Amino acid sequence: MASILVIDDDASIVETLDLYLTEEGYQVRTALTGTDGLNMYVQEPSDVVILDIRLPDVDGFTVLEELKEENENVKVIMITAFHDMETTINAMKGGAFDYIHKPVNVDELDIAIKKALKSLEMEKKIDGLLMEPSRSFRVGDIIGTGNEMREIFKTIGVVSKSRTTVLIQGESGTGKELIAKVIHNNTSPDEPYIAVNCSAIVETLLESELFGHEKGSFTGAVARKLGKFELARYGTVFLDEISEMSFNLQAKLLRVLQEMEFERVGGKDHVKVQARIMAATNKDLKALVKEGKFRDDLYYRLNIVAINLPPLRNRRQDIPPLIDYLLSKINLELHKKIIGVSAEMMDKFMTYQWPGNIRELENILVRAAVVAKGQVLGVNDFPELGKDDPSAATSSDQTADIFEHPEPGKFLTLDQVEERYIRKIIRETDKNKGEVCETLGVSRPTLERKLDKYGISFERD
Ligand SMILES: Nc1ncnc2c1ncn2[C@@H]1O[C@H](COP(=O)(O)OP(=O)(O)OP(=O)(O)O)[C@@H](O)[C@H]1O
Ligand SMILES: [Mg+2]
């Protein structure tokens, strides 16, 4: 049973909380002064402390400090009397886990307590994992071994306790969105998670998508529409492909991040932003800043906490556990009973470059699983990877080798291979661009650029 200590000088609040929380199944203790509360905690620590900022003897911040000294990981939820940003920021800086406003709303309190307990549980899990460095571990379905991924798990644990902005960077298919969802689920699981792809919509539309608009603010604005920042409530707005945002909108976003409020398009009301904002990019934002293509002030504002996902080729030790994990997912979805990949195929996987990273691995496993006859996926099940192996080429020669140079003994350039592969995928799939991107493991702008580069016209959308 989780234990809670309530420290507040208002006897009626203490009594109400005691009743309510006991009813909810917590083990509750209460104190009316900071000193009493501290003594009780020292005698026997609680999982969560609910702490008033104004106390008769010592102020809540001092109590918080001493609690933290006693136990660095204590989860303290502060009760603040005013909607006062400064008090709140100070409380959070002082290491409070969360805060709620007076008069106390039990739903709000409930969410805060559940979050605190969840984070406690996760810390324990992560601590346990950190003690076994050689094991492959997972947090919320993120597979990762090795130091780089372990540091990322730690960062996820830390940011899940706060609502700071997080910038997630990594090549396409490295798991940026997955990380964003895990952070969201650990921070505000019951609130909306809203992803916006900044490259997919034209600027003016994106602005009204994000901020909403008032009725009549432009032709076609027949009614007031709420934007993503409002719809996300206390949840998450995930700004994907942030590098593609126009300069103009970057300035507006910066203002939102600084002031945590905005106006709807065509409106005058100030709307508060309560959502946590995360952004992702597969570009090197810092380099774009240097080239003058991305605002440096916004970059610094987004980069408060950065998670840099390493490409799969730099963490090859993750390939076998990822294959296990992905295959069990695929088996479930496709009703298959695939056990694994052959040793020979595994060797290929371990040396392949994986330009599309984990998405690419997932896609080729799905494709192989669909056509495979046996329970072990072998070289023949992966025609796209088997080409450099002469025995593989002969055994699957019904798929003409598009990567072979027409003249014997000569080889194609990388660009030629890329172009042929893109054409092949478009030819063989009667799909829309989104699906082609998915199959190739690239983003929409990347595909567009490549179509442009190779002069491929592809109008199906
Ligand atoms: N560490 C991981 N463990 C398990 N699955 C993963 C991991 N990383 C990524 N995946 C899976 O790989 C696929 C691609 O991940 P995701 O969409 O998060 O990548 P992304 O970085 O956002 O890619 P893009 O830049 O192309 O949008 C998803 O199906 C995701 O679940
Ligand atoms: Mg993505």
Here the CATH number for the domain that contains residue 443 is 1.10.8.60
Check residue 397 and give its pLDDT.
35
Residue 151 sits in the same domain as residue 44? no
What is the C-alpha radius of gyration for the chain, rounded to an integer number of angstroms? 27
Lookup: tokens for 382: 């992966």
Q: Does residue 277 sit within a domain?
A: yes
**Long-range pairs, 27-31, Cβ under 8 A, ≥24:** 27/1, 27/2, 27/3, 28/3, 28/4, 29/3, 29/4, 29/5, 30/5, 30/6, 31/5, 31/6, 31/7
Q: Does residue 331 sit within a domain?
A: yes
Residue 289 sits in the same domain as residue 339? no
- Measure the CA–CA gap between 40 and 249, rounded to whole angstroms: 52
**98 C-alpha to ligand 1 centroid (Å):** 30
Lookup: tokens for 281: 């990019």
Ligand 1 contact via 37 beta carbon (within 6 Å): no
**Chain mean position to CA 436:** 23
Of 244, 359, 436, best ligand 1 pocket probe by most atoms within 8 Å of the beta carbon: 359
For tokens 């699906």, the residue is 435
**Residue where a domain terminates, one of 310, 334, 353:** 310
Of 239, 308, 358, best ligand 1 pocket probe by most atoms within 8 Å of the beta carbon: 358
Residue from 310, 376, 318, 309 nearest 342 by CA: 376
- Measure the CA–CA gap between 212 and 266, rounded to whole angstroms: 9
Check residue 181 and give its pLDDT.
92
**434 C-alpha to ligand 2 centroid (Å):** 12
Q: Does residue 276 sit within a domain?
A: yes
Q: Does residue 123 sit within a domain?
A: no
Check residue 88 and give its pLDDT.
64
Ligand 1 contact via 178 beta carbon (within 6 Å): yes
Check residue 100 and give its pLDDT.
85
Which residues hold their Cβ within 5 A of ligand 2, which is an ion? 177
Residue 176 sits in the same domain as residue 66? no
Residue 139 near residue 250 (C-beta atoms within 8 A): no
**311 C-alpha to ligand 1 centroid (Å):** 11
Ligand 1 contact via 180 beta carbon (within 6 Å): no
**50 C-alpha to ligand 2 centroid (Å):** 38
Domain count, the chain: 3
The one-letter code for the residue type at 172 is: S
Residue 347 sits in the same domain as residue 284? no
Ligand 1 contact via 243 beta carbon (within 6 Å): no
Lookup: tokens for 177: 């969105």
Ligand 1 contact via 174 beta carbon (within 6 Å): yes
- Measure the CA–CA gap between 75 and 96, rounded to whole angstroms: 7
**Helical axes 357-371 vs 433-440, angle rounded to 10°:** 100
- pLDDT tens, residue order, the chain (461 aa): 899 999 999 999 999 999 999 999 999 999 999 999 999 999 999 999 999 988 899 989 999 999 999 998 899 999 877 555 566 666 776 788 888 878 888 888 998 999 899 888 877 766 654 444 333 334 457 888 877 887 888 788 788 888 899 999 999 999 999 999 989 988 888 899 999 999 888 888 899 999 999 988 877 778 888 999 999 999 999 999 999 999 999 999 999 999 999 999 898 889 999 999 999 999 999 999 999 999 999 999 999 899 999 999 999 999 998 999 999 889 888 888 898 999 889 999 999 999 999 999 999 999 999 988 888 999 889 987 755 444 333 333 334 466 776 666 777 788 888 888 888 887 776 667 888 888 888 888 888 888 888 877 776 55
Lookup: tokens for 92: 């959070």
Check residue 426 and give its pLDDT.
79
Q: Using H for helix, E for strand and C for coil, what is the string for the chain?
A: CCEEEEECCCHHHHHHHHHHHHHCCCEEEEECCHHHHHHHHHHCCCCEEEEECCCCCCCHHHHHHHHHHHCCCCEEEEEECCCCHHHHHHHHHCCCCEEEECCCCHHHHHHHHHHHHHHHHHHHHHHHHHHCCCCCEEECCEEECHHHHHHHHHHHHHHCCCCCCEEEEECCCCCHHHHHHHHHHHHCCCCCEEEEECCCCCHHHHHHHHHEECCCCCCCCCCCEECHHHHCCCCEEEEECHHHCCHHHHHHHHHHHHHCEECCECCCCCEECCCEEEEEECCCHHHHHHCCCCCHHHHHHHCCEEEEECCHHHCHHHHHHHHHHHHHHHHHHHCCCCCEECHHHHHHHHHCCCCCHHHHHHHHHHHHHHHCCCCEECHHHCHHHHCCCHHHHHHCCCCCCCCCCCCCCCCCCHHHHHHHHHHHHHHHCCCCHHHHHHHHCCCHHHHHHHHHHHCCCCCCC
DSSP strand pairing (193-197 vs 225-226):
unpaired
Residue 186 near residue 122 (C-beta atoms within 8 A): yes
Question: Model's pTM, two decimal places?
Answer: 0.60
Lookup: tokens for 113: 């307590």
Q: Does residue 397 sit within a domain?
A: yes
Q: Does residue 127 sit within a domain?
A: no
Nearest Cα residue to atom 29 of ligand 1 = 359
Of 138, 171, 174, best ligand 1 pocket probe by most atoms within 8 Å of the beta carbon: 174
Check residue 76 and give its pLDDT.
95
CATH code for the domain of 146: 3.40.50.300
Residue 303 sits in the same domain as residue 357? no
Residue 233 sits in the same domain as residue 331? no
Residue 169 sits in the same domain as residue 89? no
**Residue where a domain terminates, one of 118, 143, 161:** 118
Atom in ligand 1 nearest the alpha carbon of residue 144: 1
Instruction: Find the largest Cα–Cα distance for the chain.
Output: 89
Residue from 48, 40, 51, 72 nearest 8 by CA: 51
- Measure the CA–CA gap between 303 and 280, rounded to whole angstroms: 11
Q: Does residue 387 sit within a domain?
A: yes
Check residue 192 and give its pLDDT.
95
Lookup: tokens for 372: 């495979």
Check residue 3 and give its pLDDT.
96
For tokens 């991924």, the residue is 149
Of 143, 177, 333, best ligand 1 pocket probe by most atoms within 8 Å of the beta carbon: 177
Q: Which ligand is nearest to the CA of 195?
A: 2
Check residue 133 and give its pLDDT.
37
Nearest Cα residue to atom 23 of ligand 1 = 173
**Residue where a domain terminates, one of 261, 285, 310:** 310
Nearest Cα residue to atom 26 of ligand 1 = 172
Residue 166 sits in the same domain as residue 294? yes
Ligand 1 contact via 281 beta carbon (within 6 Å): no
**237 C-alpha to ligand 1 centroid (Å):** 18
Ligand 1 contact via 181 beta carbon (within 6 Å): no
Nearest Cα residue to atom 12 of ligand 1 = 359
Residue 306 sits in the same domain as residue 317? no
Residue 399 near residue 383 (C-beta atoms within 8 A): yes
Residue 101 sits in the same domain as residue 89? yes
**118 C-alpha to ligand 2 centroid (Å):** 26
Lookup: tokens for 89: 């920021």
Domain that holds residue 376: 313-454
Cβ contacts of residue 287 below 8 Å, gap of 6+? Answer: none
Residue from 163, 141, 167 nearest 153 by CA: 141
Residue 306 sits in the same domain as residue 361? no
Ligand 1 contact via 359 beta carbon (within 6 Å): yes
**48 C-alpha to ligand 2 centroid (Å):** 35
Nearest Cα residue to atom 13 of ligand 1 = 359
Ligand 1 contact via 143 beta carbon (within 6 Å): yes
Q: Does residue 449 sit within a domain?
A: yes
Residue 42 sits in the same domain as residue 12? yes
**160 C-alpha to ligand 2 centroid (Å):** 20
CATH code for the domain of 39: 3.40.50.2300
